[in-house]
Amino acid sequence: MMGFLWFWLVAVMIVGYVVFDGFDLGVGILHLFLVRKESERRATLGSIGPVWDGNEVWLLAGGGTLYFAFPLLYASAFSGFYLPLMIVLWLLILRGVSLELRNHIDVGVWRSLLDGVFGFASALLAIFYGAALANVLRGVPLNPDGYFFLPLWTNWQPGVHPGILDWYTVIGGLVALVALTLHGALWLTIKVSGDLEQRARKLVTPLWFGLIALTIVSLIATIAVRPESLHNYNTYPVSYIVPIGVVVSLFLIWQWNRAGKAVKAFLASSFYLFFMLAGACWGVYPVLLPATTGDANNITLTRALSGPHTLSVGLIWWTFGMILAVSYVVFVYSRFKGKVDAGASAH
């Protein structure tokens, strides 16, 4: 029971990070090509300025929860994925530095450089997050001791000894890139006004069509690469409410964006991300990290779980921490609600 609980607590925290920091990444990607003048760049950055660093706390909290709930998974994943984790770390650093230092020197070249770094770091982070999830779904070459090593790429084919990047994980990266860009565009329709808001709303439609196509392709590819992902769905048919939720969420994004209901369209996008990630987690449960080298090497829930005392004490502190985190989120988002003035001169 505790294992099932902690599995979904970690999953919820990952979903929380993707939903909250996902629109930050999307806004960063759109910062590359959607804005046309300096006032719009300031408005775009101002839409996430009060919340972006707080959103990233969910990533740290998820990693900390993983550490004490499933230490074997933490040790295995953080060693085997060492190279991409270092890349992600540097991208997070570059993104934060560019966002904070952009206006410290009033020089056009300086701002243009940091704008480019901010946008490209955001895009690469979205791609790497999607590829990371695809790596987990596909499986990694685990040894009997629970460790593995993955090069950045091999022959671009999933198999017993794949690379971090292959045709399947690239699809996962593209799904994340388009989904988070769409998520960011919907956030901008809430937070900005004028021509910038209209361009963001118009951009939703092509991104929506691209996301539908990639979602279908990723589903087919997942079934082809890992047919076992359908086992829980066939065993518990009620689970098919998850793909139904994906379809309904996509439809509501289209419907509410066309009707100009920005907040509802953004919430529909959040539910799309929730159902996609929850569906992926349910597809591998109770395996936490599948092995391409044989099911005997899988890192399963029972194999990776901490002791009962650790989990019981951890649940108390986790609950206390989540109350603080949720209270902070409610305060910040209520304090900075409303639209950003694209014509304002202040940062």
- pLDDT grade for 44, boundaries at 50, 70 and 90: very high
Residue 190 has pLDDT above 60, yes or no: yes
Mean pLDDT is lowest, of 47-56, 121-130, 181-190, for 47-56
Sketch the domain layout of the chain as residue ranges: 2-335
Give whole-number Cα distances, 57 to 177, 228, 292, 334, in Å: 21, 33, 32, 18
Q: What CA–CA distance (Å, rounded) separates 55 from 173? A: 21
Mean pLDDT is lowest, of 46-55, 96-105, 221-230, 234-243, for 96-105
Give whole-number Cα distances, 53 to 58, 95, 311, in Å: 10, 11, 28
- pLDDT grade for 347, boundaries at 50, 70 and 90: very low
Higher pLDDT, 242 or 68: 242
Q: Are strands 287-289 and 299-300 parallel, antiparallel or unpaired?
A: antiparallel
Long-range contacts of 334-341 (CB under 8 A, 24+ apart): 335/50, 336/50, 336/51, 339/190, 339/191, 339/192, 339/193, 340/43, 340/46, 340/47, 340/191, 340/192, 340/193, 341/43, 341/193
Residue 346 has pLDDT above 70, yes or no: no
How does pLDDT run across 283-330, given as a tens digit for each residue? 999 999 999 998 899 999 999 999 888 899 989 988 998 899 889 889
| 335's tokens | 């304090």
Q: What CA–CA distance (Å, rounded) separates 138 from 198? A: 39
**pLDDT score recorded for residue 147:** 87
**pLDDT score recorded for residue 345:** 42
Residue 50 has pLDDT above 90, yes or no: no
Tell me if 66 sits within 8 A of 74, measured CB to CB.
yes
**pLDDT score recorded for residue 154:** 86
| 253's tokens | 């994004």
Q: What CA–CA distance (Å, rounded) separates 148 from 125? A: 23
> What pTM was estimated for this model as a whole?
0.93
For the chain, give the percent of residues with pLDDT over 90: 62
Q: What CA–CA distance (Å, rounded) separates 318 from 59? A: 14
DSSP string, 225-256: H-GGGGHHHHHSGGGGHHHHHHHHHHHHHHHH
Give whole-number Cα distances, 134 to 40, 164, 198, in Å: 35, 9, 34
End-to-end C-alpha distance for the chain, whole angstroms: 49
For the chain, give the percent of residues with pLDDT over 70: 98
At 305 the three-state DSSP class reads coil
Residue 178: which residues within 8 A CB-CB, separation 6 or more?
207, 210, 211, 214
**pLDDT score recorded for residue 222:** 95
Peptide bond into 286 cis (omega under 30): yes
Give the residue-averaged pLDDT of 42-49. Answer: 90
